[in-house]
Amino acid sequence: DIVMTQTPLSSPVTLGQPASISCRSSQSLVHSDGNTYLSWLQQRPGQPPRLLIYKISNRFSGVPDRFSGSGAGTDFTLKISRAEAEDVGVYYCMQGTQFPYTFGQGTKLEIK
């Protein structure tokens, strides 16, 4: 199975300031079709997760443009350009390149 490792596991951030979460996979996430199926999910308190970013850097419908994804191969990053109060929650990276799908441990974003 592909192991996904996120850092940090907790990230206190000041409102209006940037935040960054890293995700590393134990092997390349490049699929045989040439795509890289790395996505980011956000889970607000008491809510189900929701899709933010798919295929490394594509924002899903309705996701604010302060969220961006980047990376390649085994190293990926989610950035929030200016944190807002509604961004509080847990963020997960997920790989869909190979079954079983696997997730990072989650990074808890808190407002300082």
Partner 1 sequence: EVQLVESGEDLVKPGGSLRLSCAASGSTASGSIFIDSWMNWVRQAPGKGLEWVGLIKNKKDGGTTDYAAPVKGRFTISRDDSQNTLYLQMNSLKTEDTAVYYCITDWFYTLRDWGQGILVTVSS
Interface with partner 1 by CB under 8 A: which residues?
1, 31, 35, 37, 39, 41, 48-51, 54-55, 60, 90, 92, 94, 96-97, 99-106
Looking at the Cβ atoms of 83 and 94, the one nearer to partner 1 is 94
Could you tell me the smallest distance in angstroms from the CB atom of residue 96 to partner 1? 3
Could you tell me the smallest distance in angstroms from the CB atom of residue 51 to partner 1? 5
Looking at the Cβ atoms of 30 and 82, the one nearer to partner 1 is 30
Give backbone dihedrals phi and psi of 86, rounded to 5 degrees, phi first. Answer: -75, -5
Looking at the Cβ atoms of 49 and 111, the one nearer to partner 1 is 49
Give residue 60's identity as a one-letter amino acid code: F
Give the residue from 58, 61, 69, 62 showing the smallest Cα distance to 92. Answer: 69
Classify burial at 88, counting beta carbons within 10 Å of its beta carbon; exposed 0-12, middle 13-18, buried 19 or more.
middle
The Cα 104–Cα 40 span in angstroms is 10
Looking at the Cβ atoms of 16 and 99, the one nearer to partner 1 is 99
